[in-house]
Amino acid sequence: MRKKSTHQKTMITDPIPVSDQMLADFRRYLEEKQMADNTIAAYTRGVEQFLSLYKTISHDNMKLYKCYLLEHYKPQTVNQRIRSMNCFTESLHMDGSRMTMVHIQQRSFLENVISQADYEYLKRCLLRDGDRLYYFIIRIMAATGMRISELVQLQVSDICRGYINLYSKGNKARRVYIPAQVRKECQTWLNHQERTSGPVFLNRSGEPITPDVIRKRMKQFNALYGLEPAILHPHSFRHFFAKNFIETCGDISMLSDILGHESIETTRIYLHRSSMEQKQLVNQIVNW
């Protein structure tokens, strides 16, 4: 006699009552799969929303939830919430429960990328005003393509070594190098402060700075320096790095590895011109 599997799969056609324990069990499931903290937070947020809207997990309620998402959110957010629910039903061993993703047409242009001129202008303004903290925050993001959540992990020892090892989904490791000139300038700044260890970026209280604080400060630069709000946000400098790297080096596979993209298809957007560049080019060549 063959033993029955201890992991009996539940058909989605059988409604499952919602319980308070489900969210805690799902979080533990994600942690066991070694997912990144940001992913865990996003997935649990999506599932929490579903559990707050419906009393049972069923095929009909999953379809209703997708309709709800399409009415209230942009396609990228809809797909993120769908991924959350697909992972959730997978954790419950449900058959036939996966929702299909929303097709998002790939843009043929980049948006909200800071220009080289604005980048140089912002650096000059920060140096003039003696704001070395944000000068190096912006400089390192633009020189490495690190996400803001990764930047705040940077240690003094990483600057001394010249690279940082970062971990993404599935505990996948990637190494991001800090260019020699940026590293040299940053070391001089840290030496002046007599800092030999710990996080590179600290707040006024000497605690590690947070992504939210950096985002808020960048919004203030809009008014301080007269720059467009749309291009002055942390991710803009990641786009700036990627755009300059692909134009200079042309190795899209290497760029994909540096940025930590799961698929090279995500990286292909950087092969396109920015929307501003497209506009300027059309204005230059079209005279008919």
Start-end ranges of CATH 1.10.150.130 in the chain?
10-95
First to last CA, the chain: 82
Predicted TM-score of the model (pTM)? 0.58
Residue pLDDT tens, the chain, 288 long: 444 334 444 444 567 888 878 889 999 999 988 888 888 888 999 999 999 999 888 888 888 898 888 888 888 888 889 999 999 988 888 866 788 887 765 554 466 778 888 999 999 999 999 999 999 999 999 999 888 889 999 999 999 999 998 876 556 778 888 999 999 999 999 999 999 999 999 998 889 999 999 999 998 888 888 888 888 888 889 888 888 887 777 777 777 777 777 776 766 666 665 555 556 655 665 666
- List pLDDT tens digits, range 8-33: 444 445 678 888 788 899 999 999 88
> What per-residue confidence (pLDDT) applies to 4?
39
CATH level 3 topology of 116-285: hpI Integrase; Chain A (1.10.443)
Start-end ranges of CATH 1.10.443.10 in the chain?
116-285
- List pLDDT tens digits, range 68-122: 888 888 888 888 899 999 999 888 888 667 888 877 655 544 667 788 889 999 9
Contact 271, 239 (CB under 8 A): no
> What per-residue confidence (pLDDT) applies to 152?
93
CATH level 3 topology of 10-95: DNA polymerase; domain 1 (1.10.150)
